[in-house]
Amino acid sequence: MPSVLDGMIRRKPIEQIDDESGGAGLTRTLGLWQLTAIGVGGIIGAGIFSLAGAVANEKAGPAVLISFLVAGIASAAAAFSYAEFAGLIPKAGSAYTYGYAVLGEFTGWAIGWDLLLEYTAIVAVVAIGISGYFDDLLGFMHVHLPLWMSGAPGTEPKGVADGSYKVNLIAVLLCLLIAWVLNLGMKNAARFETFLVYLKVAIVLLVIVVGVFKIRTGNYSPFFPFGLSGAFTGAATVFFAVFGYDAMSTAAEESQEARKHMPKAILYSLAIAMVLYVMACLVLTGMVDYRDINPTAAFSSAFKSVGLNTIGIIIAIGAILGVLTVLFTFMMGATRVWFSMSRDGLLPGWFAKTHPTRHVPTRITWILGVASAIIAGFLPIAEAAELTNIGILLAFIVVCIAVIVLRYRHPELPREFRTPGMPVVPAIGVVFSIWLITFLQWQTWVRFVVWFAIGCVIYFAYSRRHSLLNRT
Contact between 248 and 24 under an 8 Å Cβ cutoff? The reply is no
Contact between 107 and 13 under an 8 Å Cβ cutoff? The reply is no
Could you report how far apart the first and last alpha carbons of the chain are, in Å? 11
Q: What is the DSSP string of 179-213?
A: HHHHTT-HHHHHHHHHHHHHHHHHHHHHHHHHHGG
Q: Residue 30, by phi and psi: left (phi above 0), alpha (psi -120 to 50) or beta?
A: beta
What's at 221, amino acid-wise?
S
Contact between 331 and 123 under an 8 Å Cβ cutoff? The reply is yes
The CA angle 85-87-88, to the nearest 5 degrees, is 60
Contact between 121 and 388 under an 8 Å Cβ cutoff? The reply is yes
Q: Which structural domain range is residue 332 located in?
A: 4-471
What pLDDT, on the 0 to 100 scale, is given for residue 342?
A: 94
Q: What is the DSSP string of 313-347?
A: HHHHHHHHHHHHHHHHHHHHHHHHHHHHHHHTTSS
The CA angle 328-332-335, to the nearest 5 degrees, is 145
Other beta carbons within 10 angstroms of residue 186's beta carbon come to: 23
Q: Which residues pair with 150 in a beta bridge?
A: 168
Other beta carbons within 10 angstroms of residue 443's beta carbon come to: 12
Collapsed DSSP state (helix, strand, coil) of residue 439: coil
CA distance 108 to 383: 27
CA distance 27 to 185: 9
CATH code assigned at 22: 1.20.1740.10
Q: Where does 183-287 have alpha helices with state H?
A: 186-211, 227-238, 245-248, 258-287
pTM, rounded to two decimals: 0.85
CA distance 461 to 472: 19
Nearest partner of 223 among 276, 279, 281, judged by Cα: 281
What's at 172, amino acid-wise?
V
Contact between 320 and 136 under an 8 Å Cβ cutoff? The reply is no
CA distance 316 to 133: 7
Nearest partner of 47 among 266, 277, 293, judged by Cα: 277
Give per-10-residue mean pLDDT for the chain (472 aa): 68 68 65 90 76 85 91 88 89 87 92 91 84 72 78 72 81 94 88 87 89 93 91 80 83 85 92 92 93 80 82 77 84 93 92 87 95 89 67 87 92 89 92 82 82 94 90 62
Q: How many residues are present in the chain?
A: 472
What pLDDT, on the 0 to 100 scale, is given for residue 386?
A: 60
Collapsed DSSP state (helix, strand, coil) of residue 11: coil
CA distances in angstroms from 111 to 37, 97, 118, 209, 337, listed in the order given = 25, 9, 10, 42, 10
What pLDDT, on the 0 to 100 scale, is given for residue 6?
A: 62
What pLDDT, on the 0 to 100 scale, is given for residue 402?
A: 93
CB contact set of 104 (below 8 Å; sequence gap of 6+) = 8, 9, 10, 11
Nearest partner of 119 among 411, 336, 408, judged by Cα: 336
CA distance 382 to 384: 5
Domain count, the chain: 1
Q: Which residues pair with 255 in a beta bridge?
A: 30
User: Which helix H or strand E contains 57, and what residues bound it?
Assistant: none
